[in-house]
Amino acid sequence: MIARSLVVVALVSAAGCHASTQAKFVIPPGTQLEVNSDVVKVESDGSATMSAFGWGGARYRLLRDGKPIASGKLATEFRPISLIWPPFGVLYVPKGLNEDKTYDLTAPANKHAKK
């Protein structure tokens, strides 16, 4: 009984590690987006899915030919789901991107980035 409970807790915790967030991006042609040092695949329609963020938020870099051309911090918001799922999610993945916004990273003064 205890062993079964431990297995369930371990599986639920492991599932929690895969908490994700989604958003749409506009990035300059020929660039690659990195968020918190992870490469993010931006689909042709601009959509992207990535891991949710800790309390530190989401730092991004735009790379061209492996060299950074822009960087900053994306505006994030609290993910209410982190209060109930994953277990203890509020401690390690409480922040996500706004799914209703398009993060335009082509503009010099990025209005979606946090200064």
How is the chain split into domains, by residue range? Answer: 2-114
Q: Kindly write down the DSSP assignment for every residue of 41-107, as one continuous string.
A: ---TTSEEEEE-B-TT-EEEEEEETTEEEEEEEE--EE-GGGGTSSTTHHHH--EE--TTSEEE-SS
- What's the gap between Cα 21 and its chain centre? 5
pLDDT at 2: 73
Q: Kindly write down the DSSP assignment for every residue of 21-43, as one continuous string.
A: EEEEEE--TT-EEEETTEEE---
Q: In degrees to the nearest 10, what's the CA dihedral of 36, 78, 25, 31?
A: -10
pLDDT at 34: 97
Per-residue pLDDT of the chain (115 residues; tens, 9 = 90+): 675 654 455 444 444 445 889 999 999 999 999 999 999 999 999 999 999 999 899 999 999 999 999 999 999 999 888 888 667 777 778 899 999 999 999 976 555 555 4
3-state DSSP call for residue 113? Answer: strand
